[in-house]
Amino acid sequence: MKVPYVEDKPTQGGSAIPSEDDLGRMIRTTVDNWSPRRGPDWSDLMVRIAGTGPPAWLLYTTASAALVIILVAAYLVGSALQLGALAPQAIPGHIQP
C-alpha cells in the first residue's frame, strides 16, 4: 500500500523535550486542575475523629504485654500445681545397661 508522504513539523521549534521551566509550568497547570469531588467536609472529619480508636502502636504494645503476662502466669500456676509437663518428672530407677 502506498502512503503519500505528508510534511509535518515534528522537528520545527527544536527538540520535543521540554525545558525544566516548561516542565514546572506543565506540572503547576495540571495539578491546579485536580479538584476533589467532595471538597472539604468538616462534619465527615469530626465523625472520623470521634470514631477512631486508640493509635495502633498503643494497641499492639498493650496486646504484646498482655500476652507475656498470660504466658508467665500460666507457667507459674502450672509449676505450683504441678500440671502436665511442668510437674516433676519421674526418673526411671532401674536402667538396664
Contact 58, 52 (CB under 8 A): no
> Which one of the spans 27-35, 66-74, 77-85, 87-95 is the region binding another protein (CB under 8 A)?
27-35
Per-residue binder mask for another protein (CB under 8 A), 37-56, x = binder: xxxxxx-xx--xx--x----
Contacts of 79 (CB under 8 A, 6+ apart): 86
Q: Which of 14, 16, 88, 91 binds another protein (CB under 8 A)?
A: 16
Q: Where along the sequence are the contacts to another protein (CB under 8 A)?
A: 3-6, 8-10, 15-18, 20, 23-24, 26-32, 34-42, 44-45, 48-49, 52
